[in-house]
Amino acid sequence: MQNKTLYDKVWQNHVVHERDDGMSLLYIDRHLVHEVTSPQAFEGLRLANRDIWRKDSILATVDHNIPTTDRSVGIDDVISKTQVDTLDQNCKDFSLVHFPMLDVRQGIVHVIGPEQGASLPGMTIVCGDSHTSTHGALGALAFGIGTSEVEHVLATQCLLMKKSKNMLIQVNGECASGVTAKDIILAIIGKLGTAGANGHTIEFAGSAIRALSVEGRMTVCNMSIEAGGRAGMIAVDDATLEYIAGRPFSPKDKNWDLAVAQWRTLNTDEGANFNSTIEIDANELQPQVTWGTSPEMVVGIDGAVPSNITADQQRALKYMELQPGTPIEEIKLDKVFIGSCTNSRIEDLREAANVIQDRKLAENIKLAMVVPGSGLIKQQAEQEGLDEVFKAAGFEWREPGCSMCLGMNADQLEPGERCASTSNRNFEGRQGKGGRTHLVSPAMAAAAAVHGHFVDVRRYL
Partner 1 sequence: MKAFTEITSTFLPLDRSNVDTDAIIPQQYLKSVKRTGFGVNLFDNWRYKDPGVLGQDHSKRRLSDDFVLNKKQYQGAKILLARENFGCGSSREHAVWSILDYGFNVVIAPSFADIFRSNCYKNGLLPIALSTSEIDYLFEHVNTNPNYKCNINLDSQTITDENNKSFSFQIDEFRKYCLVNGFDEIDLTLQHEDKIKDYESKLKQTSPWLFSAK
What track of x and - describes contact with partner 1 for positions 131 through 170 (by CB under 8 A)? ------------xxxxxxx-xx--xxxx-xxx-x------
Buried b or exposed e, range 424-436, using 16+ CB within 10 angstroms: bbbebbbbbeebb
Nearest to 76 by CA among 431, 406, 410, 432: 410
What's the min distance (Å) between Cβ of 461 and partner 1?
A: 33
What's the min distance (Å) between Cβ of 354 and partner 1?
A: 31
Decide whether 286 or 431 has the Cβ nearer to partner 1.
431
**CB of 26 closer than 8 Å to CB of 16:** yes
Judged by CB under 8 A, the chain residues 348 through 407 that form the site for partner 1 are: 406-407
DSSP 8-state assignment for residue 283:
G
Distance, in Å, from the CA atom of 267 to the CA atom of 159, rounded to the nearest integer, reads 24
Decide whether 98 or 453 has the Cβ nearer to partner 1.
98
Pairing type for strands 367-370 and 335-338 reads parallel
Of 113, 128, 300, 372, which one interacts with partner 1 (CB under 8 A)?
128
What's the min distance (Å) between Cβ of 205 and partner 1?
A: 22
What track of x and - describes contact with partner 1 for positions 3 through 42 (by CB under 8 A)? -------------xx-x-xxx-x-x-x------xx-xx--
What strands lie across the sheet with 30-33, from one edge to the other? 97-99, 58-61, 30-33, 124-127, 141-144
Judged by CB under 8 A, the chain residues 295 through 324 that form the site for partner 1 are: 312, 315
**CB of 86 closer than 8 Å to CB of 35:** yes
**Does 276 engage in binding with partner 1 (CB under 8 A)?**
no
Decide whether 5 or 437 has the Cβ nearer to partner 1.
437
The count of chain residues that interact with partner 1, using the rule CB under 8 A, is 80
How many residues are given for the chain?
A: 461
Element (H, E) at 202: strand 200-205
What track of x and - describes contact with partner 1 for positions 65 through 84 (by CB under 8 A)? x-----------x-xx-xx-
**Does 279 engage in binding with partner 1 (CB under 8 A)?**
no
Of 2, 72, 248, 308, which one interacts with partner 1 (CB under 8 A)?
248
What's the min distance (Å) between Cβ of 346 and partner 1?
A: 23
**Does 130 engage in binding with partner 1 (CB under 8 A)?**
yes
**Does 429 engage in binding with partner 1 (CB under 8 A)?**
yes
Judged by CB under 8 A, the chain residues 166 through 225 that form the site for partner 1 are: 194-195, 198-199, 225
Task: Give me the sign of the Cα torsion angle 141, 441, 318, 433.
Answer: positive
Decide whether 199 or 325 has the Cβ nearer to partner 1.
199
Of 4, 9, 64, 110, which one interacts with partner 1 (CB under 8 A)?
64
Of 106, 224, 286, 294, which one interacts with partner 1 (CB under 8 A)?
294
What's the min distance (Å) between Cβ of 348 and partner 1?
A: 22
What's the min distance (Å) between Cβ of 7 and partner 1?
A: 14
Angle at CA of residue 433, ends 366 and 328, nearest 5° = 55
Contacting residues for 425 by C-beta, under 8 A, at least 6 apart: 226, 295, 405, 406, 437, 439
Judged by CB under 8 A, the chain residues 91 through 110 that form the site for partner 1 are: 97
Instruction: Kindly give the residue spans of alpha helices, DSSP state H, lying in 223-327.
Output: 238-244, 253-263, 311-320
What's the min distance (Å) between Cβ of 363 and partner 1?
A: 28
Query: What is the SS3 assignment for 118-182?
Result: CCCCCCEEEECCHHHHHHHHHCCEEEECCHHHHHHHHHHCEEEECCCEEEEEEEECCCCCCCCHH
